[in-house]
A and B are shown apart, each in its own frame.
Chain A
């Protein structure tokens, strides 16, 4: 069985500061890993994904994440926060290929607040 833990349900940063959102996963098979963002009253939008190529993955809006197998982590970072980054962020894991049909297991979500 797969699981995802996001450390910190709320993260608050100042505009221009580093954003670090933590995600740890467990999976018995090689995983695919995703970060999604949800703006208020909207659906989820893909930020980036890891599918066993490069361990450092770059996504949209300046975000990136690093897959660390030894730490079973996939933390999301952005060097400089912008007010428009305020949203809820979800980490998710799926099994690579096979008959998983790409089913996702999500973390609990982290609400990012950006202060002026």
Chain B
């Protein structure tokens, strides 16, 4: 079974803090994705990576950056957290253009 894990289930941060969300997959997938989920908006793609050190912007990259130094790990970075980044963050991985497998999500509250 594919396993995608995320470093935290719940996180509370202050405005202006730098926040790291980590995602690890154990299936040697090339592609990894970060989404944010907000009620009524579904999931929106922030960034994705198709190989180590390779990344592309998704639909809503502003205020975020990513890092992929190893194939199994994909980090989402909020350089200076703001209250409008309070959301559920979901990581996913896939092989080529096949099914994406999702982690359990991190619920982030920025105060």
Complex contact A103–B42 (CB within 8 A)? no
Contact A104 B41 (CB under 8 A): no
Q: Which of B33, B35, B97, B99 contacts A95 (CB 8 A)?
A: B97
Known contacts A42-B104, A43-B104; A106/B97 CB under 8 A: no
Task: Determine, out of B13-21, B43-51, B66-74, B79-87, the stretch whose residues face the partner at the interface.
Answer: B43-51
B42–A108 touching, CB < 8 Å: yes
Closest to A104 in B: B100
B43 contacts A106, C-beta separation under 8 Å: yes
Q: How far is the CA of A90 from the CA of B103 in the complex (A)?
A: 16
12 A-B residue contacts at CB 8 Å?
A: A4-B42, A32-B97, A34-B99, A41-B105, A44-B90, A44-B102, A49-B99, A97-B97, A102-B31, A102-B100, A103-B45, A103-B58
State the interface size on chain A (CB cutoff 8 A).
30
Task: Find chain B residues with CB under 8 A from A24 CB.
Answer: none
- Are A104 and B45 interface neighbours, CB within 8 A? yes
Q: How far is the CA of A105 from the CA of B41 in the complex (A)?
A: 11
B99 and A103 form a contact (CB under 8 A): no
A49 to B101, CA, bound (A): 13
Q: Are A100 and B97 in contact (CB under 8 A)?
A: yes
Q: Number of A-B pairs whose CB atoms are under 8 Å? A: 65
Q: Name the interface size band of chain B.
A: 20 to 34
Q: A12 CB to closest chain B CB, in angstroms?
A: 17
* B94 interfacial by beta-carbon distance below 8 Å: yes
* Residue of A with least CB distance to B45: A103
How far is it, in angstroms, between the C-alpha of A109 and the C-alpha of B101 when the chains are bound? Answer: 18
CB <8 Å contact, B99 and A46: yes
The answer to whether B24 has its CB under 8 Å from any CB of chain A is no
Within 8 A of B (CB), among A71-99: 90, 92, 94-98
